[in-house]
Amino acid sequence: MGVGPDCHDRGQALIEAGADALFIDAATGHTSRVMDVISQLRSLSDRPVVAGNVVTLQGAKDLVAAGASAIKVGIGPGSICTTRVIAGVGMPQFTAIRNVADYCREHGVKVIADGGIRYSGDVVKALAAGADLVMLGSILAGTRESPGQSVYYQGRRFKTYRGMGSLGAMKKGAGDRYAQNSSGKLVAEGVEGRVPYKGPLSDVIFQLMGGVRSGMGYLGATSLEELRERAQFVQITSGGLRESHVHDIVMTEEPTNYQPLG
């Protein structure tokens, strides 16, 4: 739910419908409006309230003080998001997670890493950095169960995918997330496109979970807590990034859990 004028009524309706938790979705969660809405929703019910998005320690502190049970982290890391370019605002996702993770853990508040996940290894790094869970967009957008429309291009099957900040999404009502009125002119902070079709969701989840288990196995970690304790981070160069990916070969068969860098 957004933070528009109807948020109180929507929150009440969700509670009456039996929602397990209330999820406040705003492009930036570090605002007085979001904190007011958190307080309002907490007064209606004892159900957990998830709020975001933030990327700074102070943002996390203020949302925790307002009563958030979990915090969504990330501004601009998504594959279809242009906020960092259009608005000039954002932070690398790894840094954002590290900024808030320790404080949130001390206060029993969960950290949700929203965006920036392209491979299963990115999930491992997000969890090791301090996230309790991750939100996935593009990596699941090509699955059979995703809501995107199937299209064919040059003999290959794709599914349409768009960001919440795209013109199409804002015209459908998502403009509230970016404090824009969908009835007037809009300034997009996202794009619309297509992603390769990947088949059933279960196949993608199987590969993701396999990658996470493999990453934990390399570190000898049997739990997420051990993963965080044992992980060591280094900053790599662009050359190191290229070295990490497939190189010096023409791929003749592309595995389902990998796409070349580029």
Joined together, the tokens standing for residue 5 give: 């004028």
Contact assessment for residue 26 and residue 13, using Cβ atoms and an 8 Å cutoff: no
Neighbours of 2 (CB within 10 A): 19
Domain 7-219 is found in CATH 3.10.105.10? no
33 catalytically annotated: no
Q: Which two tokens stand for residue 12?
A: 């009440």
Mean pLDDT per 10-residue segment, the chain (262 residues): 89 95 93 95 94 96 97 95 94 98 98 97 98 96 96 95 84 64 74 94 98 98 97 96 93 88 76
Q: Catalytic residue among 81, 104, 162, 194, which?
A: 81
Q: Which of 7, 42, 104, 177 is catalytic?
A: 177
Short-list 30, 50, 138, 133, CA closest to 90? 30
Q: Is 177 among the residues known to form the active site?
A: yes
Nearest to 199 by CA among 138, 162, 252, 157: 157
Strands (E) across 125-244 are located at: 133-135, 150-153, 156-162, 192-196
Q: Which residues are CB-contacts of 125 (< 8 A; sequence separation ≥ 6)?
A: 94
Structure confidence at residue 175 (pLDDT)? 56
Give pLDDT, residue 236. 95
